[in-house]
Amino acid sequence: MNSRLQIAFARSLLVPAVTLFLYAGAQAQERALPLNFLRSGIEFAGVDVRSMQSDDLANPGFLWVERGEKLWRDATGEAGGESCASCHGDASASMRGVAARYPAFDTPSGAVLDLEARINDCRVRRQKQNPLARESDDLLGLTAYVAFQSKGLATATRIDGPASAAFERGRAFYSTRHGQMNLSCAQCHEQNWGKQLYAETLSQGHGNAFPAYKLEWQTLGSLQRRIRACLFGIRAEMPRAGAPELTDLELFLAWRAQGLPLEAPGVRR
């Protein structure tokens, strides 16, 4: 076979291979729940919970939003350092759409950060303060305040480029069976959503309302707390708050919920 024929033959094999590779890549990003099937968790809640979330005066989560607004304006540190507003100004303008993009890859740290981690990163690197404890009222308040500025916007998390490895780890965690009950997230929230589990209806497991006030907790909590509560319920090993595997899962969940509007601060039973 002469060289031209060899090149033509090689190309004839390469084109289908490339096409198959691109198709496989597209299939890998295909969601199990198409956009027209997406349902926010509030749609599976009772009338009382839906009413509480929709009324800003009745929604307990706004106590944390107000706390976050005060912290946004207050200077940090005993010597009166810079406040969040010193750099970012009016949050209703500067933070609009920010929460919709998180979790996101952070180049300086080389890792994917959720919104709580981004706030702490800013405190440490910019404000020269200690990080706030996970699930503390101050961190929840700032997170709720920032997230509230994007209320009604659809999630727009990026999973390509340097975020792709974390995304794939999150996908694997979601589909892997965990704990003594040997259950995966997908078994409840993709294969059996809408069905009854004791007195509750299984939702699709989206995180678009977090941080959210859970009546069971009688306080506001992060999405990571909700994930850890699920792991506790199936008697699985509990990652620490802020663990990379939880952030990876948050990234996957944010991609999975794309198209749903942000509702923070949400209310859940």
230 noted as active-site residue:
yes
Asked if residue 112 lies in contact with residue 104, where contact means CB atoms within 8 angstroms, the answer is yes
Asked if residue 219 lies in contact with residue 139, where contact means CB atoms within 8 angstroms, the answer is no
Asked if residue 267 lies in contact with residue 49, where contact means CB atoms within 8 angstroms, the answer is yes
The residues, any chain, with a CB within 8 Å of residue 79's CB and separated by 6 or more, are none
Q: Coil, helix or strand for 76?
A: coil
| Rounded Cα–Cα distance for residues 79 and 63 (Å) | 27
**Residue count of the chain:** 269
Q: Which of 84, 87, 185, 230 is catalytic?
A: 230
Q: What region, left, alpha or beta, does residue 129 occupy, with left being phi > 0 and alpha being psi -120 to 50 degrees?
A: beta
Residues serving a catalytic function are 230
